[in-house]
Structure 1
Amino acid sequence: MTDALSPSFLSDLERSSARERLLLAACDLFCRQGINVTGVDAVVAAAGTAKTTLYKAFGSKEGLVEAVLEREGSLWRDWFVAKVDAIPGDATNKLVNLFDVLREWFAEESFFGCPFINAVGEHDKEDDRMREIALRHKKIVLDKIRELAKEARPHDPEGLTHELALLIDGAIVAALITRDPGVATHARNAAARILMK
């Protein structure tokens, strides 16, 4: 076991803390200003680290972008799934009311849209790297919706999953553009109508 006061332990802690600061700063800047317009200098200045620290931790700006997306995706999915699981009632009720969860997210001051949608929108459309990262995130979200859709519409869970996914993505983009969390209520109403079929 490493002694808590040893120099190697302290340097590991310092690296970890600098890495976390870089992730937090990059996430804020990428979401607020965009990935392409945010340079490495702005990230290291906001994080209070050296440029060499960024390159040691992530290898490149693209490595940092990928790390930010993986981190933010994991945190968001954990939050979203926990909120949906806490909705009382059956699967149908959870699927309709998950749009109230989205409304809560849209109302946050730090809501700047979905980092994955934004990243794909900003990057070269012939470069599949960002799309693949976004699809990995989307698959996990869809798996949660599909789990509920199997109970709510056993004769067509795939159709229901994709119908609701389109409403979710549309609500996210509409909330980003309009800055109106109320778009989630319109999506909720549409989901309720879909689930009556």
Structure 2
Amino acid sequence: MTEAAQIDAPQADSEDRAPPRERLIDSAKNLFCRYGINSVGVDAIVERAGTAKTTLYKLFGSKDGLVEAVLDREGQAWRSWFLAEIDGPGGSARERLDRIGPALKIWFTRDDFFGCPFINAVGESDKTDDRMRALAISHKKIVIDRLSALCDEAGMSEAEKIAHTIGLIMDGAIVVALITRDPSAADIAARACKSILESAPV
């Protein structure tokens, strides 16, 4: 583990009443997202969570089990937030699709933006191991399905293809924003999405 990760991994407050499972997931999430899954050991996670190592293994079986739990939690949280951003204010399907870029910009400007945890996990994992890839695809499918439904509602004849194109634009913007730390990648994504949507066949 990096020296920075060791310094930034304080023990959990003894007054923290959250169950051990929640503390372990939250602690692992914070460390994994910032430093990377492979850079963070079990010792740092349990120290930050204020639990015993045996508790981690009892609850998750292994570090890999904890990684999957973190990704499941993060995926659900991000999807709930993102879909609320585009659907919450209401409006037409096209108006909802036009909120993708602004929603990404909100995310990119947050202090805790460290890229997509699924993209990061696949990037760190053995490329012949499909476990992380399957988790990432499952997460992505839920998002693409919603975008496809909106494209269909907007009267576009190739809704699924357009949704996948928008998904590619989103993924590219996420990686660029992570590398450059420049939230304006979302503005570029917004313009690209607008061009795709305006030229979509109906």
> Given the two structures, how large is their TM-score scaled by the length of structure 1?
0.90
> For 1:73, which of 72, 75, 82 is the aligned residue?
75
CA distance in 2, matches of 1:159, 1:34: 32
Determine the structure 2 residue equivalent to 1:145. Answer: 147
Determine the structure 2 residue equivalent to 1:34. Answer: 36
Deviation of residue 90 (structure 1)? 1.5
Determine the structure 2 residue equivalent to 1:56. Answer: 58
Structure 1 segment 52-131 matched on structure 2, within 5 A:
52-131=54-133
Determine the structure 1 residue equivalent to 2:26. Answer: 24
SS at match of 2:45: helix
CA distance in 2, matches of 1:100, 1:174: 16
Q: Extract unaligned runs of 5+ from structure 1.
A: 1-13
Q: Specify the code of the residue in structure 2 equivalent to 1:190.
A: A
Give 1 or 2: higher helix fraction.
Answer: 1
Q: Specify the code of the residue in structure 1 equivalent to 2:180.
A: T
Aligned residues: 184
Determine the structure 2 residue equivalent to 1:159. Answer: 161
> Given the two structures, how large is their TM-score scaled by the length of structure 2?
0.87
Q: Specify the code of the residue in structure 2 equivalent to 1:52.
A: T
Q: Specify the code of the residue in structure 2 equivalent to 1:162.
A: H
Q: Is the CA contact (8 Å cut-off) linking 1:29 and 1:43 kept in structure 2?
A: yes
Q: Which moved more, 1:41-50 or 1:154-163?
A: 154-163
Identity %: 56
CA distance in 2, matches of 1:103, 1:81: 14
Q: Please give the per-residue CA displacement for 1:62-98, whole angstroms capped at 9, x wherever unaligned.
A: 0000000001101111111111112443212211221
CA distance in 2, matches of 1:16, 1:87: 33
Segments of 4+ moved more than 4 angstroms:
none
Q: Is the CA contact (8 Å cut-off) linking 1:92 and 1:148 kept in structure 2?
A: yes
CA distance in 1, matches of 2:130, 2:46: 27
Determine the structure 1 residue equivalent to 2:10. Answer: none
RMSD of aligned alpha carbons: 1.5
Q: Extract unaligned runs of 5+ from structure 2.
A: 1-15
SS at match of 2:99: helix
